[in-house]
Amino acid sequence: MRTQVGIVGGGPAGLVLSHLLDRQGIESVVLELRSRDRLESEVRAGVLEQATVDLLNELGVGRRMEREGAVHHGIELRFDRKGHRIPLSDLTAGREIVLYGQHEVVKDLVEARLAAGGPMIFEAAATSMHDLDTTTPRIRFRRGAYLDLEAGGIRFREDAEEEEELTCDFIAGCDGFFGVSRPSIPERLRTEYERTYPYGWFGVLVEAPPSSEELIYTLHERGFALISTRSAEIQRMYFQCDPKDSTDRWSDEQIWEELQARTETIDSTSLNEGPILEKTIVPMRSFVCDPMQHGRLFLAGDAAHIVTPTGAKGMNLAVRDVRNLAEALAAWYETGKTSLLDSYSDVCVRRAWKAQRFSWWMTSMLHRHPDDDGFQYNLQLAELGYVTSSEAAATSLAENYVGQAFEE
Ligand code: PHB
C-alpha cells in the first residue's frame, strides 16, 4: 500500500489532519487501533477554544456542534464557599468557548471523512516504523487488533491477517501517549520532560439537568472539584482523588456527598443529582517530547505532549499542531520548500510549553497538595483572591483559557 501521508491514530489530531490535507488535494490513510464504536464512545474533554470551533466550521464538520454545543462566555472560580465569575468574553474582546464532547467531534470528523471516501482503517495496530530518514518512510501495521485494557496491551484476533506495510512520503504520529510513533524517534535524539501529580480526577457522567450555566472550578479543604456539562440532560463532574483509588470503592451516595461538600456555598446552593452513568479515574500528568519530529516522522497531539486537564487545552493543542503540520506539508507539495517542515517542532514545542505553564498554574492553584501544612493552601486562596479581584490577573487567565487566534 502507498499513500502520501500515513496518519497513525484517528483521534482529533489525526482526523483533523486528514481533513486539512484532503482540502489541499493531499492523500492520506488513517490507521486507528480502536473500532469505530469504541473510538466514538470514549468520553474525554469537552472545551473547544474559539480557534478550534472556527477550524471545524471551516472544514465543514461544525453543523452538529453549532446546534448541540453550548457557547460559554465565562467560568466560575469557587473558594471559601463563594463563587466569583471570570467574564472570559468581556476580557478577551468577545472570544468564547464551546462545550462539546471530544467524542462528538470525533464522530463528526469520522462521518465526514468516510463520506468523502477517505481511507480509514479501524482495528489496525501500527507495530513499527522504518526508514524514517529516507524519502519513503514505512509503517508496518496489522489488522484485527483490539485493546485489552486488563492485559494492558494490544491483542490480535485469532483470524487476524499478516502484517502489512504502508509506504508514505511522510508519517504523522497522532497515536497518543502510548502509541508507537514517539518511541520510533531514537532515544538519544529526544528528551522527554514529565511530571506526574500525586492526585487524579474522579470523573462521573450523570443524567441530570445542569447545576450551573457556566463551568465551576472549585477549591475546597477536601480538594478540587469541577462541574462541567455535556448537554441539557447529561453533566460531567470531577473531584480530586488519590490516583491509585479505584472507582469500585465509591458508591453513588459517597460520590454525591463528596461533590456536594466541595461545591457548597454560603447560601447553600447544591448540585442537581441523578443517576451516575459512568465513573473513571483520570491521572494528572504533564509531558513534553522535544523534538516532535525525526526525519519524515512528525508527532502531533498527545503523542508529543500531555497537559493536565485543568486548563482545558489538550484537544485544542492537538488541533493547533496538525494545522501547522498541514500547512508545512502543503507548502512542501506545492513548492518543495522545507522551511515550514523544518521549523515544525520548534513552533509546536514552544506552544506546548506555553500551554503547559497555564495548565500547571491552574492545577497548582486549584488542588490540595497532599503534604501541605496549610501554608500552600493559604497561598492558593490568596492567588484565587487576586485572580478574582484584579482585572489584570483575570485577563491573564481569560486569554489563556480561550486561547489565541491561529498564528501564521
Ligand atoms: C470536561 O467537560 O470534561 C472538562 C471541562 C473543563 C476542563 C476539563 C474537562 O478543564
- The alpha carbon of 266 and the centre of ligand 1 are apart by a number of angstroms equal to 25
Indicate whether 237 belongs to any domain: yes
Residues 92 and 130 grouped into a single domain: no
Residue pair 311/359 in contact (Cβ under 8 Å)? The answer is yes
Contacts 24+ apart (CB under 8 A), 153-157: 154/33, 154/125, 156/125
Same domain, 326 and 343: yes
Tell whether 338 is covered by a domain: yes
C-beta of 310 in contact with ligand 1 (< 6 A): yes
Q: Is 45 in the pocket of ligand 1 (CB under 6 A)?
A: yes
Residues 315 and 329 in one domain: yes
Return the closest-CA partner of residue 355 out of 8, 11, 44, 51: 51
Whether residues 351 and 314 share a domain: the answer is yes
**What is the number of the ligand 1 atom nearest to the C-alpha of 311?**
10
| Residue 185 belongs to a domain | yes
Q: Give the chain's domain count.
A: 2
Q: What is the pLDDT along the chain (408 residues), one digit of tens a residue?
A: 999 999 999 999 999 999 999 999 999 999 999 999 999 998 888 999 999 999 999 999 999 999 999 999 999 999 999 999 999 999 999 999 999 999 999 999 999 999 999 899 999 999 999 999 999 999 999 999 998 878 878 999 999 889 999 999 999 999 999 999 999 999 999 999 999 999 999 999 999 999 999 999 999 999 999 999 998 999 999 999 999 999 999 999 999 999 999 999 998 779 999 999 999 999 999 999 999 999 999 999 999 999 999 999 999 999 999 999 999 999 999 999 999 999 999 999 999 999 999 999 999 999 999 999 899 999 999 999 999 999 999 999 999 999 988 865
* Same domain, residue pair 30 and 121: yes
My answer on whether 185 and 302 are in the same domain is: yes
In this structure, the answer to whether residues 18 and 114 fall within a common structural domain is yes
For residue 397, tell me if it sits in a domain. Answer: yes
- 105 assigned to some structural domain: yes
Q: Quick one: 267 and 119 in the same domain?
A: no
Quick check: pTM over 0.85? yes
Short-list 4, 9, 12, CA closest to 322 = 12
Residues 132 and 161 in one domain: yes
Strands 164-167 and 138-143: antiparallel
> Are 183 and 211 found together in one domain?
no
Q: What is the CATH number of the domain that holds 273?
A: 3.30.9.10
The answer to whether position 51 is within a domain reads no
Instruction: Please indicate, yes or no, if residue 67 is contained in any of the structural domains.
Output: no
Residue 239 belongs to domain spanning: 72-97+198-284+370-402
Q: Which atom of ligand 1 is nearest to the CA of 99?
A: 2
How far does the centroid of ligand 1 lie from the alpha carbon of residue 342, in Å?
34
Contact, 240 vs 224, CB < 8 A?
yes
54 in a domain, yes or no? Answer: no
Give me ligand 1 centre to Cα 2, in Å: 39
Q: Examine the domain organization and report whether 133 and 151 are in the same domain.
A: yes
175 and 142 in a common domain: yes
Q: In 83-97, which positions are buried (b, 16+ CB within 10 angstroms) versus exposed (e)?
A: bbebebbebbeebbb
Sheet of 28-31, strand order: 120-121, 28-31, 5-8, 170-173, 297-299, 293-294
